[in-house]
Structure 1
Amino acid sequence: MNEKPDFKLLFCLFIVAVVWGTTYLGIRVAVETMQPWYITSTRQGLAALIVLVILLYKKQLAWIGWENLKLQFIPAILMIVLANGFTTIAEQSVPSGLTSILSALSPLVVFLGGTMIGQQKISLKGFIGVMVGFLGVVFIFRDGLGDILDPNYKTGIFFLSIAILSWSVGTIYTKMHTHKSNNIALNLFYQFSIAAIIQFVLALIINPDVDFNTWSLRSILATLYLSVFGSVIAFFAYHYALKRVTATQITVLNYINTIIAVFLGWLLLDEKITFDFVIATALIILGVFITNYKRTRGKAEQSEAK
């Protein structure tokens, strides 16, 4: 029995793939004059305020209880405080292109972690799809892979490694508990609020004497973009999609993020797009297709992705 396409899900997947592809550039611009923890605390603080206004307008603001608060606390720490925070720190020294290729490891980590805990079935098709997509990402940056060993990037790559692991574990954890609460906006309000408070405290500790006059309008606008699009819109789309597809299927969109990041480099920074990029794009799209392709054979198979 064939079902109509879930256009809302497809739109959310599109948002995740495109918007988070632009955040590499946004973070790079923000760290030009702003300190990382001030960027992240401002980003999540504004996101929390935006979601708060939405909840008040819909009259949905409520206390979620201690049990659900604990469920929101863990992804807030893993995916926002650590993953988002450390990625922002890493981009102070690591080029956005290299950040993109290393971040593309997360689908592989999620796939392996998900199969180890039995969250999803071991699938040769899934593994092949993840690897083909990752090879496409590697192909884009094959001439610059030696940069990974650059001692100047050592600290940045260390922080980025923690960010990738934290994001992957947070994704698996969220998928495990996503069925326990249906109000995505309310959950995100608590996650953003928790993360903003922790990150602001870190900002005050690490940079107590910051000179706000040194912040450029360019960096401030980039932070505002990260807040509205990178946090509110993309996180809502991400959590909506994660309720309906596997953790691997949603994280494999990181490969599309890389295409977007490279395209923006060409569009805004005059970076060249070579024939290698065209080949890499084809590999990435093929990898995403292999991972997500599924013949419809009735409800039994459809429930496998839920």
Structure 2
Amino acid sequence: MSKNTNKLLIVLAFFAIYVIWGSTYLLNKIAVAELPPFMLASIRFTVASIFIFIIAKIAGTSLKITKKQLLNCSIIGFLFLTFGNGGVVWALKFVDSGFTALEISAQPLVVLLMMYFLEGKKIKPMSLIGVIFGIIGIYLLVSQKELIKQEGMALGMLTIFACMLSWAYGSLFVAKANFPKNYFVNTGYQMLTGGVMLCILSLTFGETWTSPTNWSAPVLGSMILLIVFGSIIAFTAFNYLLKVVSPEKVATSTYVNPIIALLLGWYVLNEQITTQSIIAAVVLLTGVYFINTKRKLILFARFKK
């Protein structure tokens, strides 16, 4: 493969994790306005898993999995998809898509604090600055009285935070658990088990399932985009980038996704962007930068010497 081809693939992959992942908040918001949230998420991940398995088989990849690996995939499927994503889709019934993405941008902060409290991992000086910025940013975001007063807004924000805790714990679990070596197969089983559990959750809550033939064009289009682009293409691009560029560059999606979501929500759905939300976004993303960066504070480095 030529260098030009590699460069083009890298550019397309970054476009996928920047724009496609950033647009999934809008797509879910459009779909959940008409479809029950757990049904929506269940169909998305179950169908995506079937396509992933088909692609894997065409590529000659074995789908074999041990009982332990299947159990681990089920646990992650629940933490990341059933509770983590299903809860966010449910919250989108009450919370704007851009606001949701902005709140979720604090995820690195939640992971860092969970590692500190559960694993006793020390927080480095740069990360500590990030934590301070993150806490201030979250406070600025959730303390907007004009937004909190909206029906279901407070409950939606609390639900999103609970989902962030689920993702954070899942991130720690992934680092230690045994999974299939092939990331495509691994993702397929996570999506399948997560989708099945979402189906059970949907039926438990008595959600009414409808045929895609009865969906409106915007909802049907959103679901197709979520399955093909959000669940399959963007994730493949993410894993491709992890192999060919540094993790720090891949992590830049954390800064871009909420901006894309905010702009799309404002442009397509006329969602309100307050001045305080913009300030909160700047503070939050600054905190995420300090948490993700591997650079050391000059003051602390000199002190150590």
Which residue number corresponds to residue 227 of structure 2?
A: 227
> Counterpart amino acid of 1:201?
I
Give ranges in structure 2 of 5+ residues lacking alignment: 1-5, 297-305
Which residue number corresponds to residue 77 of structure 1?
A: 78
> Counterpart amino acid of 1:105?
A
Distance 2:13 2:129 in 1: 24
Shift of 1:274: 7.7
Distance 2:95 2:227 in 1: 22
| Residue range with higher mean Cα deviation, 234-243 or 162-171 | 234-243
Which residue number corresponds to residue 290 of structure 2?
A: 290
Distance 1:10 1:285 in 2: 23
Which residue number corresponds to residue 300 of structure 1?
A: none
Alignment pair present for 1:57 and 2:58: yes
Distance 2:241 2:53 in 1: 22
| Residue range with higher mean Cα deviation, 224-233 or 96-105 | 96-105
Which residue number corresponds to residue 108 of structure 1?
A: 109
User: How has the CA–CA distance of structure 1 residues 44 and 272 changed in structure 2, closer, same or farther, with 3 Å as cutoff?
Assistant: closer
Q: For 1:62, what is the secondary structure of its paired residue?
A: coil
* Equivalent pairs, count: 287
Contact in 2 for aligned 1:38/1:200 (Cα 8 Å): yes
> Counterpart amino acid of 1:183?
N
Shift of 1:245: 4.6
Contact in 1 for aligned 2:82/2:198 (Cα 8 Å): yes
Contact in 1 for aligned 2:144/2:276 (Cα 8 Å): no
Q: For 1:126, what is the secondary structure of its paired residue?
A: helix
Q: Deviations over 1:143-167 (max 9, x none)?
A: 8355346553344334323212111
Which residue number corresponds to residue 265 of structure 2?
A: 265
Which residue number corresponds to residue 172 of structure 2?
A: 172
Distance 1:152 1:290 in 2: 33
Shift of 1:20: 2.7
User: How has the CA–CA distance of structure 1 residues 273 and 105 changed in structure 2, closer, same or farther, with 3 Å as cutoff?
Assistant: closer
Distance 1:148 1:22 in 2: 24
> Counterpart amino acid of 1:122?
I
Contact in 1 for aligned 2:57/2:63 (Cα 8 Å): no
* Identical aligned residues as a percent: 29
Shift of 1:96: 2.1
> Counterpart amino acid of 2:230?
G
Shift of 1:278: 7.0
| Residue range with higher mean Cα deviation, 168-177 or 52-61 | 168-177
Contact in 2 for aligned 1:47/1:231 (Cα 8 Å): yes
Q: For 1:64, what is the secondary structure of its paired residue?
A: coil
> Counterpart amino acid of 1:259?
I
Contact in 1 for aligned 2:79/2:170 (Cα 8 Å): yes
User: How has the CA–CA distance of structure 1 residues 143 and 196 changed in structure 2, closer, same or farther, with 3 Å as cutoff?
Assistant: closer
Distance 2:118 2:188 in 1: 29
> Counterpart amino acid of 2:203?
L
Distance 1:85 1:186 in 2: 22
Contact in 2 for aligned 1:266/1:273 (Cα 8 Å): yes
> Counterpart amino acid of 1:190?
Y
Give ranges in structure 1 of 5+ residues lacking alignment: 1-5, 297-306
Contact in 2 for aligned 1:101/1:137 (Cα 8 Å): no
